[in-house]
Amino acid sequence: MRNRLFRVASICVCLVAGSAMGQTLELGDPPYFKARGINVLVYSNWYDGLFSDSKISGVELVHHGVRTATNGDVRLNATPEQWDAIPQFVDRDVDTENGVIRATSRYPDHDFEFTVEVRAVDDGVAISVNLPRALPQALEGRAGFNLEFLPAAYFGKAYIADDATGLFPLYPSGPKEQNDAVAPVPLVRGNRLVLAPDAPERTVTLASADVEMALYDGRAKAQNGWFVVRSLLPAGREGKVLEWTLQASTIDGWTREPVIAHSQVGYAPGFRKRAVIERDPNDTFDGEVSLLRIDATGVETVKSAAPQSWGRWKRYDYLTFDFTDTDEPGLYRLEYNGVKTAPFRIATDVFETTWHPTLDVFFPVQMDHVLVNEAYRVWHGASHLDDALQAPVNHEHFDLYAQGPTTDTPFEPGEHIPGLNVGGWYDAGDYDIRTQTQYAAVIGLVQTWEAFRPERDTTSVDYDRKFVDLHVPDGKPDILQQITHGTLQLLAQHDAVGHAIPGIIVPDISQYTHLGDGLTMTDNLVYDPDMGELESDGFRSGVFDDRWAFTSRSSALNYGSVAGLAAASRALRGFDDALAEHALATAVRAWEDEQGREPDLFRHGNTTGGSLEGEMIRANAELLLATGESRYADALRSAMPTIESQFAFHAVPVLKVLPRMDDAFRTRVRALAEAYAERWAGMRDANPFGVLITEGGWAGNGAVINIALSNWYLHQAFPDLFDAEDVLSGLHYVFGTHPDSDISFVSAVGAESKKVAYGMNRADFSFIAGGIVPGVLILKPDLPENREDWPFLWGQNEYVINLGGSYLFLANAAHALVNEGGDD
């Protein structure tokens, strides 16, 4: 506890139960305030230091199971967007005995520190903002207490401010806040504000006796903005300067509806079929789960049984229902306590087409430097044909890019680097080309091709016209065309500057936040500093809008690119022999260059490769498979201490080359697999879903998919240690057997799938078929969350291209296991 004596400026917020009066919010373990239907979290999570405001911090309200308010904190903007100033977290103290949580934060640039204190009072909590001294003059009229409310929770609902009434707008209108220039216009002002008086499950009442509150629509400034209630901190005062009371109503006896987590796609005969029921701890229903079969004549119950108790995980209780013994092909659904699932299949071909949307739609839509057409729709034009300008030295950029003290190229800062305007995919829900993602996607595609050879052809790619047409076959396997597209960008970097580069990204934050057609981000004309802004000759212009190439050398990144190029060279043999030879020659040359010099250890964010040792192992494995040369096998044997220390991270490249290695190497790998099998069993049994669920700021579908992918290779090499279920469990998780909901995390795959995701079209609350989102984010201490009604939470909902490559492999692997008994 911080023992400091000072007069305080405070905001007092009393949160009580509306229709269930008399509830007492208790501070317990886990450390947040709770009553039935209400949780108040206090700095349980903190703003993501990598991407600024992630809408997961400060004082937060979980209202009837949904996190409806966040960022209860002192902010310097009325409608903060992602990149606006956020306070720096200092510490938090939880005093369970006295029912108090205190969190201290500061704005170091203004020498301004404050403590938010939350304490249990009567039927709610009081929240105070405590200042050791008066507000700095520079922050007068700027610093205020904000509490942000999720727009999707209040669409279609009303509000009351004193005697005024209104409806929460579905879409913002009016002028936006322009920092330090134009103040936003509030929807309403008043001393008493009631949100959603028409909807008890969302009703929140805020009142202040002497300080006016304003309700703003933050979406006018940024599409990912929230509704914000705000009061300015008065200037020149140290005592209590304003006070709010906040009441959140609850529905008497409220119990969260159970979730029947299951595969939205379905299951294969002869393999495990298991649903996981997630339910409120207050749920006392003790009835059975029913498996219903649907056919042309109607619906019949084929199995009913009491579910088995798994126990508590995070905030919910879990039950399991096993119906492995049901193998008859057909349509089915599950029912429990009034909840019915969407239909799913039992069939031998249940996984056969699950990867089609990813290859048919998601990968082509993400292709950069080409126009992408789909029937009557143009997804985007041929964008960024003016790539790219050399990034300035000693520059830390946004989105985890940075340039070191030199360019590491023949080009001066600001000089155009020719040849980079080819190939590559939009990295994610934004438009940069992140090399680490590019080569990971290439490797995933190559692994899929080499293991399963899917020759599906539904996309036409015409590089001469820079034109891609979906659903129009051109006689070429689509997966090889995608490998080509990624390879072209990797090669362009080596050809242009002699090594892999961290990536290419727009220079200005206003361009980075662009939503819509990537073609409109730049004029596609190479920047010429000698031209005026309105001048152009049709090839060059004076518009400084070209993306920057960040080019600092990183040996880890270079080895990763080597691995991607070596892998691509194998897949492209017989398809484009010239490109295959170019890729392999470049990979070998870059590998030899790295071997002959001290490693470049430049590191920044997630744009400069994985660990140096890991990227070297991957490069050596892919080169060994591409050339058969003993020097790469020797390098792998030398790396055995690293392989032994982190086998799970290196298993795939090691297992891929196992047939090329000697008996001694294979014996050591067998021992590592045996040890890992025991660890995997512990990870698998740690939660009711049978997978490893990570708990970082980015949700864990990537880990789930890649572990399942690794398990396929382990199953092929050591079927006595790993079985098919170790592979299928990861796919079932992604398809709906996960916490929070039963939705498929692959858009357009399964009966109920992600339809609101963080793609380039997120402002339209839409999706890209075949994209895979990060999934369930575990908000500390115990809230699993994936918002299907709010796409802008990137840690839960952002598509990334490399996960698409891994998913393609896993879906094909599942189909092969089901139909070939795992002997493929």
Reply yes or no on whether the pLDDT at 4 is more than 60: no
Residue among 675, 634, 635, 669 nearest 655 (CA):
669
Reply yes or no on whether the pLDDT at 355 is more than 50: yes
Q: Retrieve residue 288's tokens.
A: 């059975």
Q: Respond yes or no on whether the N-terminal peptide bond of residue 108 is cis (omega within 30° of 0).
A: no
Predicted local distance difference test score (pLDDT) of residue 146: 97
Give residues with Cβ within 8 angstroms of 429, minimum separation 6. Answer: 758, 759, 760, 762, 794, 798, 799
Whether the full predicted model's pTM is greater than 0.85, yes or no, is yes
Mean pLDDT (whole number) for 552-572 = 98
3-state SS record for 241-257: CCCCEEEECCCCCCCCC
Predicted local distance difference test score (pLDDT) of residue 240: 79
Q: How far apart are CA 271 and CA 265, in angstroms?
A: 14
pLDDT digits (tens, 9 = 90+) for 281-299: 999 999 999 999 999 999 9
Place of tokens 């999706």: 767
pLDDT digits (tens, 9 = 90+) for 309-348: 999 999 999 999 999 999 999 999 999 999 999 999 999 9
Reply yes or no on whether the pLDDT at 2 is more than 60: no
Residue among 218, 225, 243 nearest 233 (CA):
243
Confidence of residue 810 (pLDDT cuts 50, 70, 90): very high
- Range of lowest pLDDT (123-127, 393-397, 565-569, 639-643): 123-127
pLDDT digits (tens, 9 = 90+) for 384-416: 999 999 999 999 999 999 999 999 999 999 999
Reply yes or no on whether the pLDDT at 685 is more than 50: yes
Predicted local distance difference test score (pLDDT) of residue 6: 34
Q: What burial class does residue 347 get, using C-beta atoms within 10 Å of its C-beta: 0-12 exposed, 13-18 middle, 19+ buried?
A: middle
Q: How far is the CA of 517 from the CAs of 450, 571, 634, in angstroms?
A: 34, 32, 48
Fold of 653-824: Glycosyltransferase (1.50.10)
pLDDT digits (tens, 9 = 90+) for 75-100: 999 999 999 999 999 999 999 999 99
Q: Which residue has the higher pLDDT, 12 or 302?
A: 302
**CATH assignment of 259-346?**
2.60.40.10
* CATH class, range 26-248: mainly beta
Predicted local distance difference test score (pLDDT) of residue 337: 98
Predicted local distance difference test score (pLDDT) of residue 127: 84
Contact yes or no for 383/524 (Cβ under 8 A): yes
Mean pLDDT (whole number) for 301-306 = 98
Q: Retrieve residue 21's tokens.
A: 């009066």
φ and ψ of 470, to 5 deg: -75, 150
Parts of the chain belonging to CATH 2.60.40.10: 259-346
Mean pLDDT (whole number) for 746-775 = 97
Predicted local distance difference test score (pLDDT) of residue 694: 96
Q: Respond yes or no on whether the N-terminal peptide bond of residue 87 is cis (omega within 30° of 0).
A: no
Q: How far apart are CA 770 and CA 793, in angstroms?
A: 19
Q: How far apart are CA 81 and CA 83, in angstroms?
A: 6
- Range of lowest pLDDT (240-249, 725-734, 768-777): 240-249
Confidence of residue 824 (pLDDT cuts 50, 70, 90): very low
Parts of the chain belonging to CATH 2.70.98: 26-248
Confidence of residue 52 (pLDDT cuts 50, 70, 90): confident
Mean pLDDT (whole number) for 180-190 = 95
| Mean pLDDT, the chain, whole residue set | 94
Q: Retrieve residue 245's tokens.
A: 């009371």
Instruction: Please state, as a whole number, how many other Cβ atoms lie within 10 Å of the Cβ of residue 329.
Output: 14
Mean pLDDT (whole number) for 586-593 = 98
Cα 595-601-604 angle, rounded to 5 deg? 140
Amino acid at position 274, single letter: R
Predicted local distance difference test score (pLDDT) of residue 16: 47
Predicted local distance difference test score (pLDDT) of residue 265: 98
Residue among 35, 799, 727 nearest 361 (CA):
799
The C-alpha R_g of the chain, in whole angstroms, comes to: 28
